[in-house]
Amino acid sequence: MGIKGISVIGTLLASLACVNVANADETPATNASQAPLASCYLKNISEQVLCGELAVPENYDQPEGRQITINYAVLPAVSESKKADPLLILAGGPGQAATELAAMINRMFSDVRKQRDILLIDQRGTGKSHPLSCELNHVDELVKADDDMQLDRIAGECLAQFSEEDLTQYHTVNAIRDFEAVREHLGYSQVNLYGGSYGTRAGLVYMREAPNSVRAAVLDAVAPPEVVVGPFGRHGAQSFELLLEQCAESKACTATFPNLEQTYANTLASLESQPVPLTVADPLSNEDTEILITAGRFTSVMRVGLYHPTTRQMLPYVIQQTGLGNYTPLVGLLGSAMSQSEMYMGLTLSVLCSEDLPRATERLLAEDGNNSFIGSRTADAFIEMCSVWPQAPRPEAWFEPVYSDIPTLLLSGRLDPVTPPTWGALAAQSLSNSRHLIAPNGSHTIAGHTCANKLVGQFIESLDAQALDDSCLKNQKPAPFVLNANGKGL
């Protein structure tokens, strides 16, 4: 059974809250390399920063052909005697826009910004870099049963909006060519990379395609090129098993939510046989609207809830209450996921449908779907959408391990439901100058919710990953489980 629930489309891969970019003014400015930029404001950053754009070929094999514009922003270093090599942010997804993460990045890497510029480049197909965005009517889809959702139709409607683009040119290698063009345009001789989730794959491809341009790399929630992104059932189930274990180890959680695994199974089976219609406040407009609580929507919210400790700690309570027929907590998490900025689905599909799903063997899909948590729903969703999306064969060399001696810090969360620590260990095998740190109580992209952001700053400064003291990761306490509607347990 395919995954049928519109919440999945916006949240299959994205785990970080996006922010939108405000309009730039036209005040001219320059950075340290004297490349022309404009002063601008980005949402939730009070100070002026610098913005610009650069035209690049849509198809690099046809340099005189169709051109697209790549959008970028620079958060200037605080120090006047700043270092020459910026921190380049590689956004996740695929389908997130780096400039729309500016406020979060500014907070996470305030230590880095004391000495270095932070460079945000919208990957082609996202943000203001020829965006491949699709307007979808979430509310209409939320009243449909799982089996009535037609994700191939939704993908086809998205595709119909892009009649002039060659969507097969929106891939990871071309993204790195774009980033290199911007780096040269701005006069940076080298950059330091921070990539989160899919951004780690982009980082590894950057290290392969332009090794002389990379001073150091931080790869957080690692997805190396040799793995297949999209089928997440097995990894989600492993993360859920860890949640069940942690609940069992807590007297308060066990007493409040006895037999949690069975409660989940019973609730899922009940929704599969009999979805529940509700009238609720629309998560986006707050107007009364009809919604159907289905097994697909329930499992989607559960899986995405595992991405971050603050939502993960709510899941036992949400499971219990959903099983008791109180759907308010579940709808709240669904609304939270939907209120995040939509990923650029056209770019998501352009990457995954040509780079990943063709490598998903029958054996891989069978193993991925062999779980009682979410089954094969994530893989089924992408397979259905990719059935109508333009695809192109990619060289096998794109998916081989990246061998490099560039100083690299690999970060993983033991609780991650999408990029497990085993993927970080896999990448480390071919990175001779790397260290892999695992946060025992971290989930997806640990720089956002552990002390790892401080370690990133230290590593970028010293390039000595072996000298980092990771005791702060090991000593981090697990987030306590929420026990009732009043937040008992916190």
Q: Is the pLDDT of residue 30 over 50?
A: no
Q: How many helices (H) and strands (E) does the chain have?
A: 20, 12
Residue 61: what residue type? Answer: D
Residue 292 β-bridge partners: 277
Query: How would residue 343 be classed by pLDDT, with cut points 50, 70 and 90?
Result: confident
* Mean predicted lDDT score pLDDT of the chain: 90
Q: Is the pLDDT of residue 490 over 80?
A: no
The tens digit of pLDDT for each residue in 197-249 reads 999 999 999 999 999 999 999 999 999 999 999 999 999 999 999 999 999 99
The pairing of strands 118-121 and 87-90 is: parallel
Across 3-22, average pLDDT:
34
Q: 270-277 — which CB contacts under 8 Å span 24+ positions?
A: 270/323, 271/295, 271/298, 275/145, 275/146, 276/325, 276/327, 277/143
What pLDDT is recorded for position 457?
97
Nearest Cα to Cα of residue 439 among 458, 424, 460: 424
Across 415-438, average pLDDT:
98
In degrees rounded to 5, what are phi and psi of residue 29? -155, 165
Determine the distance from the C-alpha atom of residue 368 to the mean position of all C-alpha atoms in its chain, rounded to a whole number.
Answer: 20
What pLDDT is recorded for position 19?
31
Most confident of 35-44, 59-68, 272-281: 59-68
**Tokens at residue 445, please?**
């992209």
Query: How would residue 281 be classed by pLDDT, with cut points 50, 70 and 90?
Result: confident
Across 136-152, average pLDDT:
70
Cα gap 315→326, rounded to integer Å: 14
What pLDDT is recorded for position 140?
59
